[in-house]
Chains A and B, each alone.
Chain A
Amino acid sequence: MKQSRSPIGELVVVGALLAAGACAVAFVLLYVFDSLNAQLLGLSLGLALAFLALACVVAGKKVVDQTKGVEERPELVQEDVEKEVAEKTVALREGVSRRKLIIGAGAVAGAGLGVAAIAPLASLGPDNVSEILKASPWRKGVPLVDDSGRPLSADQFEVGSWTTAFPQNADKKALGASVVVVQILESEVLENKQWAPRGIMAYSKICTHAGCAISLFRYPTYEPTSQPPALVCPCHYSTFDVRKSAEVVFGPAGRPLPQLPLSIDANNNIVAAGGYVGNIGPAWWGVRKGT
């Protein structure tokens, strides 16, 4: 037997390899008999790999030849070759007289083809981006329904209540569909009382900052020792004062939530009294330009 560089190291390698093999077998058995036990599967495979790592590291640091080497770095720059390359490139000019004219014509072709290559990109995407982004299923008279499709009744509200509503028979997933409906004291409504019958008001549920759903409503049990009523977004905490038509009072949103004017019909059901006042969702070029 040849002289061993590290007898203990070799034994460790053997032991680790055998252990790795055993763990790997355990993994296979688990896969067959208990394949949904994520913890044991991960543990067995992880340990198999860990033992393998141990074997390799000990082999690499103790068992095999550890001689270091020294070598010269390659010279990256080869001046004569560079010179030759440059000369050959420039040699294109030889025997060509109207150089400037050709180059100029080439520039024209290049610019034209460049634009021609990019131009079709402009037709990617529809022409009616504005229409798409401003789309809303709400019109005057559209009834509000809850998550299960039942008509939303004023009976479901008391001061301090809130819920999520949609237009009847519309695609719930559309950004313009979901609204958040709250009731505050009529006397608390400071702006646009005509859109908030009995203090029940609705706003687009899509935050005007970056598009998360407005899913927090705070209504004080006792305002003097806490906070005024507001809708809040969970993503970056934009806070909208519902007494003032969802004016932004804190946070990075740049526009209030568009309000959906409401009215209450003869059956005490809540109905839209018009479309949104303003465009919904995060800001883009035309978001402030008409509806």
Chain B
Amino acid sequence: MLMVVLAVVCGAGAIYGFAVGPAGAQKGTSVNPAPAAPPTSSAQRAQIQRGRTLFLDGCSSCHGNDAKGKQNIAPTLVGAGSAAADFYLTTGRMPLSNPTDQPTRAPPAYNRQDIDALDAYVGSLGQGPAIPRVNIAMGNLANGLSSFTLHCAGCHQVGAAGGIVTGAIAPPLNDKDITPTQIAEAIRIGPYLMPNFNANQISAQDINDIARYVRSTVHPDDAGGWGIGHIGPIPEGMIAWFLAIVSLLLVARLIGEREPE
């Protein structure tokens, strides 16, 4: 009887573990990932092998030797896709020194070839989003603004100046270092607490539009003069208090007199 119960419990645990993964729920395509397409050339195989070596060196301490994650430290990378690896590595968000910190933009720790190798390795672990191809020139600015406002502005602010959500910072995107590919990758994988969007919801053309809009926010149309940070009424209030009224008080001081006379 005990053996039966034990078997059932183990079986249930195994099923749960299989479905959920040994390191927590996943999102997007890393939920129940299919196996990746096998490498088609020896060059590819070599790159994947090189990626694995780099992985064991720099990533396995948190993500595990098998890249299946470690409980309460880091998620599995099976099904994360080369897009995820590319995003996190080119934006310097990974490696992350403290697992409970929010991964934030930093200078990348690896060069382009190493990143390519790591991308290939992570992509080989299971089927996941491939690195998207973005063509800004084909993007429509107006559609981009509309889509961005609807899907993204709630966290990233309508002018892509960034914002906050309870528990995290939504980084500013009006940064010249942010590439269209990174924008597209983020949309597909939903890094950290960001939601993810598949091609049926935000198509490749939508991504062109959004990326074009986001890139335009690096130099917004400041027809009115000095943009004072593009975050709205707070800097405006500061100008009113610390520039306008201070200057006018100085003028008043010049006009009036001071006690005692």
Q: Which residues from chain A sit less than 8 Å from chain B, CB to CB? A: 38-39, 42, 53, 57, 60-61, 147, 153, 155-164, 182, 185, 187-188, 213-227, 230, 232, 234, 237, 239, 250-251
Contacts and interface: CB of A to CB of B under 8 A. Distances in A.
A244 to B, nearest CB: 16
A196 to B, nearest CB: 15
A156 B197 CA distance: 8
Contacts of B155: 215-216, 234
Nearest to A224: B72
Given A234-B163, A250-B166, A159 B198 contact: no
17 contacts: A38-B224, A39-B225, A42-B225, A57-B251, A157-B198, A158-B196, A159-B26, A161-B201, A163-B151, A216-B154, A220-B27, A222-B24, A224-B23, A225-B73, A225-B99, A234-B154, A237-B166
Contacts of A234: 154-155, 163
B72 A163 contact: no
Q: Which 4 A-B pairs have the closest CB atoms?
A: A215-B154, A160-B27, A222-B75, A227-B167
A268 to B, nearest CB: 11
B165 A218 contact: yes
Contacts of A159: 25-28, 31
Interface stretch (B39-47, B117-125, B131-139, B187-195): B187-195
B100 interface: yes
B115 interface: no
B192 A221 contact: yes
B249 interface: no
Contacts of B27: 158-160, 219-221
B223 interface: yes
Nearest to B21: A222
Interface of B: 19-20, 23-29, 31, 69, 71-75, 99-100, 102, 146, 150-151, 153-155, 163, 165-168, 189-198, 200-201, 223-225, 251, 254-255
Contacts of A214: 154
Contacts of A215: 153-155
B195 A161 contact: yes
Contacts of A163: 151, 201
Contacts of A232: 154, 165-166
A164 B20 CA distance: 28
Contacts of B196: 158, 160-161, 219
Nearest to A163: B201
Output the residue of A153, A222, A227, A232 with the most chain B CB within 10 A. A222
Contact of A219 (B102, B151, B190, B251): B190
B139 to A, nearest CB: 17
A187 B74 contact: no
A147 B72 CA distance: 38
Nearest to A218: B193
Contact of A155 (B71, B163, B200, B223): B200
Output the residue of B28, B168, B190, B225 with the most chain A CB within 10 A. B190
Given A57-B254, A221-B75, A160 B28 contact: yes
A226 B200 contact: no
Contact of B200 (A156, A220, A251): A156
Output the residue of A53, A60, A187, A217 with the most chain B CB within 10 A. A217
A133 B225 CA distance: 43
A53 B26 contact: no
B24 A230 contact: no
Nearest to A237: B166
A182 B201 CA distance: 12
Contacts of B28: 158-161
Nearest to A230: B166
A219 B23 CA distance: 16
A162 B75 contact: no
A62 B73 CA distance: 75
B255 A60 contact: yes
A92 to B, nearest CB: 50
Given A224-B24, A251-B166, A158 B31 contact: yes
Nearest to A152: B201
Nearest to A226: B193
B223 A38 contact: yes
Nearest to A238: B166
Contacts of B69: 222
A28 to B, nearest CB: 21
Given A221-B191, A226-B167, 4 more contacts: A159-B25, A219-B190, A221-B26, A224-B73
Given A156-B201, A161-B197, A222 B29 contact: no
B25 A227 contact: no
Contacts of A158: 27-29, 31, 196, 198
Nearest to A60: B255
Nearest to B103: A221
Given A42-B225, A158-B29, A219 B166 contact: no
A94 B15 CA distance: 102
B245 to A, nearest CB: 16
